[in-house]
């Protein structure tokens, strides 16, 4: 898979793209990430990529001409099925979207800066706008890294053990189960005995139940489309969650 990132600040992406699993995926050719400086496509001697907004107002707006030119320069070697603007106005990025994007042969990620990007970029160039959350950052470079990291985990070979991906939070719509390692007891807090007894069926049931419990307590909205096989565990959890309340009733 190839991902092209268009930015005014390429140096922000250099370190993370060569570290940990991302660096391994790039080194092994599973993922090809190219970072392009939008200013390289400006036509004036000052390499101007922004200008004051029409109608007045604070700050600067990224110009459309260099961005169009940068994307069009990629068309000769890529299909460009998905050209994405990272913007607070975009659809909320989630695991389902990461899995969808991982199925594309290539992605273009455009990193906004300043007061935003000329609207004609969104109108005439982009297939998607994505937001990583309801807050504002100084630019789209960190969101681009978030998207690349999440999408890369969906590519075969990036994570050594696919089971690690399959048990991630949100992979199948709910949060992940709690995890424990040695020592078995730490400051009076004990790791669940079921995880240390070697009964794989019991461990699988415990993990699924505790994943559902965490989701019920922290993100109950995710349970609206729970699968049929979880109904029994959910009913059991609901009884357990309500039991302390009944015990405290006068």
pLDDT tens digits, one per residue of 126-147? 999 999 999 989 999 999 999 9
Residue 231 lies in a domain: yes
Determine the Cα–Cα distance for residues 31 and 22; give it in Å rounded to an integer: 8
- Average pLDDT of the chain? 90
Residue 51 lies in a domain: yes
pLDDT tens digits, one per residue of 59-115? 999 999 999 999 999 987 888 999 999 999 999 999 999 999 999 999 999 999 999
- Both 143 and 235 in one domain: the answer is no
225 pLDDT more than 90? no
CA-based R_g, the chain, Å? 23
- Both 137 and 195 in one domain: the answer is no
- Both 27 and 144 in one domain: the answer is yes
Query: Residue 229's pLDDT is what?
Result: 79
Query: Residue 249's pLDDT is what?
Result: 53
- Both 141 and 197 in one domain: the answer is no
Query: Residue 222's pLDDT is what?
Result: 86
Contact 41, 173 (CB under 8 A): no
- Both 235 and 143 in one domain: the answer is no
- Both 146 and 23 in one domain: the answer is yes
Determine the Cα–Cα distance for residues 27 and 36; give it in Å rounded to an integer: 19
Residue 158 lies in a domain: no
Higher pLDDT, 165 or 48: 48
Residue 169 lies in a domain: no
21-59 CB burial, b ≥16 within 10 A, e <16: ebebbbeeeebebebbbbbebbeeeeeebbeeeeeeeee
91 bridge partner residues: 130
Residue 176 lies in a domain: no
Q: Pick from 152, 174, 208: which residue ends a domain? A: 152
Query: Residue 77's pLDDT is what?
Result: 81
Residue 174 lies in a domain: no
Query: Residue 110's pLDDT is what?
Result: 98
* CATH number of the domain bearing residue 135: 3.40.1280.10
pLDDT band at 248 (very low <50, low <70, confident <90, very high): low
* CATH number of the domain bearing residue 242: 1.10.1270.20
Which H/E stretch holds residue 63? Answer: none
Using alpha carbons, list the distances in angstroms from residue 70 to 53, 86, 87, 115.
Answer: 21, 16, 18, 20
- Both 34 and 137 in one domain: the answer is yes
DSSP state of 113: B
Residue 164 lies in a domain: no
Most confident of 69-83, 118-132, 221-235: 118-132
Domain range enclosing 201: 185-247
Residue 139 lies in a domain: yes
- Both 198 and 99 in one domain: the answer is no
- Both 92 and 133 in one domain: the answer is yes
- Both 108 and 190 in one domain: the answer is no
Query: Residue 191's pLDDT is what?
Result: 94
- Both 240 and 125 in one domain: the answer is no
- Both 19 and 142 in one domain: the answer is yes
When divided into structural domains, the chain yields a total of: 2
Q: Which residues are marked as active site?
A: 88, 115, 153, 168
Query: Residue 162's pLDDT is what?
Result: 54
């Amino acid at each position: 898979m190839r991902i092209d990132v268009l930015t005014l600040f390429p140096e922000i992406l250099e370190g993370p793209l060569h570290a940990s699993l991302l660096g391994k995926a790039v080194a092994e050719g599973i993922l090809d990430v190219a970072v392009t400086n939008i200013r390289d496509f400006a036509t004036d001697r000052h390499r101007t990529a922004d200008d004051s907004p029409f109608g007045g107002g604070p700050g600067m707006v990224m110009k459309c001409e260099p961005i169009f030119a940068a994307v069009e320069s990629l068309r000769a070697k890529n299909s460009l099925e998905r050209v994405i603007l990272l913007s607070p106005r975009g659809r909320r990025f989630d695991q389902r979207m990461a899995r969808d994007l991982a199925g594309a042969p290539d992605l273009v990620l455009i990193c906004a800066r300043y007061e935003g990007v000329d609207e004609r970029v969104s109108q005439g160039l982009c297939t998607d706008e994505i937001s990583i959350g309801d807050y504002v950052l100084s630019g789209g470079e960190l969101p681009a890294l978030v998207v690349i990291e999440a999408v890369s985990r969906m590519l075969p070979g990036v994570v050594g053990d696919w089971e690690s991906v399959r048990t991630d939070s949100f992979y199948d719509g709910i949060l992940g189960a709690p995890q424990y390692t040695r020592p078995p007891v730490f400051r009076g807090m004990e790791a669940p005995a079921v995880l240390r007894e070697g009964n794989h069926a019991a461990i699988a049931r415990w993990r699924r139940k505790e994943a559902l419990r965490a989701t019920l307590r922290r993100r109950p909205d995710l349970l609206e489309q729970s699968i049929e096989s979880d109904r029994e565990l959910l009913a059991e959890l609901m009884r357990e969650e309500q039991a302390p309340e009944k015990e405290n009733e006068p």
